[in-house]
């Protein structure tokens, strides 16, 4: 019988995903003016934290996979709040928090909450860009692209995709939830 490859520990998986999330933030910052890099990193940290917090609303996997997934997502969410990660972007994170862009459970299950937070993140980046001299501002709609890319990257890196999250929110629990478009 062949030996199964040893899976990395939840800590090692969380560290790897955190590194990839921060690399994605840097990647999304490359095309923007340097002055916007901290704001983009803060938005990436906050949105990745929200994606990781979806762990409470996913359908359970068979054990021991479920325990591992919960541990990894908990570690990712906790590490996204760590001093090493937020260093240098604390003021941006505080500004985002004042705009109500902070992690709550409704991010995972309420589509309107997700839309509001996406809109808030876009507006925040647009305000940061508007403070730059006119010749240094990025193109219109760049913030939309950055936020969409950050969310897609975070979901892919964390392992939660849009369809899965919507399906989980709709069908979790003992009774089927009726989608708003099905209520008519």
Number of domains the chain contains: 1
In the numeric block, which tokens belong to residue 105? 């459970």
The radius of gyration computed from the CA coordinates of the chain, to the nearest angstrom, equals: 18
Q: Is residue 2 part of a domain?
A: no
- Please name which of 57, 20, 23, 33 lies closest in space to residue 134, comparing C-alpha atoms: 33
- b vs e for 33-66, b when ≥16 Cβ sit within 10 Å of the residue's Cβ? eeebbbbbbbbbbbbbbbbbbbbeebeeeeeeee
Cβ partners under 8 Å of residue 61, min gap 6:
69
pLDDT score of 119: 87
Q: Is residue 178 part of a domain?
A: no
pLDDT digits (tens, 9 = 90+) for 72-119: 888 988 898 899 999 999 999 999 888 765 555 555 556 677 778 888
- Only one residue has tokens 């990839």, namely 20
Q: Is residue 154 part of a domain?
A: yes
pLDDT digits (tens, 9 = 90+) for 109-162: 566 777 788 888 999 999 999 999 988 999 888 899 899 888 888 777 776 654
The pLDDT of 13-28, averaged and rounded, is: 88
Do 10 and 85 touch, CB atoms closer than 8 A?
Answer: no
pLDDT score of 171: 52
The Cβ of residue 115 has, within 10 Å, a number of other Cβ atoms equal to 10
What distance in Å separates the CA atoms of residue 26 and residue 20, rounded to the nearest whole number?
A: 10
Q: Is residue 183 part of a domain?
A: no
Q: Is residue 182 part of a domain?
A: no
Q: Is residue 5 part of a domain?
A: no
pLDDT score of 170: 54
Burial class of residue 128, CB neighbours in 10 A (0-12, 13-18, 19+): buried
**Which structural domain range is residue 158 located in?**
10-171
Q: Is residue 95 part of a domain?
A: yes
Q: Which of 20-24, 42-46, 81-85, 170-174 has the lowest mean pLDDT?
A: 170-174
Q: Is residue 180 part of a domain?
A: no
């Amino acid at each position: 019988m062949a030996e199964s490859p040893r899976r990395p520990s939840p800590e090692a998986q969380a560290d790897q995903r955190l590194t990839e999330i921060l690399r994605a933030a840097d990647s999304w910052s490359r095309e923007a003016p340097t002055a916007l890099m901290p704001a983009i990193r803060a938005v990436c940290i906050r949105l990745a934290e929200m994606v990781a917090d979806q762990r409470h609303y996913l359908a359970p996997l068979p054990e021991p996979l479920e325990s591992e997934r919960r541990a990894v997502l908990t570690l990712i969410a906790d590490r996204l709040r760590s001093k090493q990660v937020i260093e240098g972007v604390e003021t941006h994170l505080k500004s985002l928090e004042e705009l109500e862009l902070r992690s709550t459970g409704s991010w995972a299950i309420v589509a309107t909450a997700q839309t509001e937070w996406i809109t808030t993140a876009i507006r925040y980046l647009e305000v940061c860009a508007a403070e730059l001299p006119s010749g240094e501002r990025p193109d219109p709609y760049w913030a939309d692209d950055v936020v969409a890319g950050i969310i897609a990257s975070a979901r892919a890196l964390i392992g939660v995709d849009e369809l899965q999250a919507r399906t989980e929110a709709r069908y979790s629990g003992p009774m089927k939830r009726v989608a708003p478009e099905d209520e008519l």
